[in-house]
Amino acid sequence: MAVQEVFTLDQVQKLSRNQLSWRAAQEIDEGLYVNLGIGLPTLCTNFIPADREVVLHSENGILGAGPNPPKGEEDRDLINASKEYITLVKGASVFVHSDAFAMIRGGHIDLALLGAFEVSAGGDLANWTTGDPKFPPGVGGAMDLAAGAKAVWALTQHVTKSGAPKIVNTCSYPLTSAGVVTKIFTDLAVIDVTDNGLLVREMVAGLSLDDLQTVTEPKLTAANDLKVLAPPAV
């Protein structure tokens, strides 16, 4: 009897952090006011198409954040909420921290891209604590963004360092917000969270839906126009 080969993630080329962020940045529409959360989302700053007008908001008090500056050209007074050096685009404004949160809580942010420890089948987001005492909780502005932004996308590696799924049936960590995530970008796939379940729109080359299902708890469905996820080497 033939022995069936067991799929492992070593058999496919996962996206790098930059590639994952590049893919998410291509999805952002013209004219949106967007907040990029700490971690993977902030990398999107460098990959928004140059001919697309997107206004980046940072909760430390910036509207019109630009890409990271070249090494050696950093301005110590210009950082984002992740404490990373940034630039300002033409027409940018800088203001008090409380005004930045008033924009979020007032519903003026079109889209928030947030990192995630877990995302559930129904779009629940857990991204502020794992309960590990070695890593203190970091709420930041995530709860405000998850509740106040008009749309929320999650960016994350598909599995943990130990290989456990991060897209789960039910989040085991404390929730940041319930039912808010509409798109998930991982190093293996692009997935829409729909009323009918999780819809896979893109997967990396060499990966089958069955393979992806082995590292994802909720049932997956392939889109009719399922594409290969193949960003450039960025």
Give the residue-averaged pLDDT of 9-14. Answer: 87
* Amino acid letter for position 110: D
Quick check: 69 and 85 in contact, CB under 8 A? Answer: yes
Contact 98, 144 (CB under 8 A): no
What pLDDT score does 132 carry? 80
Instruction: Give a yes or no: residue 138 inside a domain.
Output: yes
Between 6 and 10, the more confident residue is: 10
Answer yes or no: 59 catalytic: yes
Reference 191, options 229, 164, 159; nearest CA is 229
Query: Residue type for 125, please?
Result: L
Looking at the 3D structure of the chain, how many domains does it have? Answer: 1
Grade residue 45 by pLDDT with cuts at 50, 70 and 90.
very high
Q: At residue 172, does pLDDT exceed 90?
A: yes
Question: Which of 6, 2, 4, 3 lies closest to 211, judged by CA?
Answer: 6
CATH number of the domain within which 178 lies: 3.40.1080.10
- At 118-164, the pLDDT tens digits run 999 999 999 998 888 777 777 778 999 999 999 999 999 999 999 99
**4 in a structural domain:** no
In a domain, residue 1? The reply is no
**Catalytic one among 5, 27, 30, 59?**
59
Average pLDDT, integer, range 201-209: 97
pLDDT tens string 86-112 = 999 999 999 999 999 999 999 999 999
User: Which structural domain range is residue 122 located in?
Assistant: 9-229
Position 234 in a domain = no
Classify residue 68: in a domain, yes or no: yes
Note whether residue 3 is domain-resident.
Answer: no
Q: Is residue 133 part of a domain?
A: yes
3-state secondary structure 13-75: CCCCHHHHHHHHHHCCCCCCEEEECCCHHHHHHHCCCCCCCCEEEECCCEEEEECCCCCCCCC
Q: Which backbone phi and psi does 220 adopt, to 5 degrees? A: -110, 150
Q: Has residue 86 been placed in a domain?
A: yes
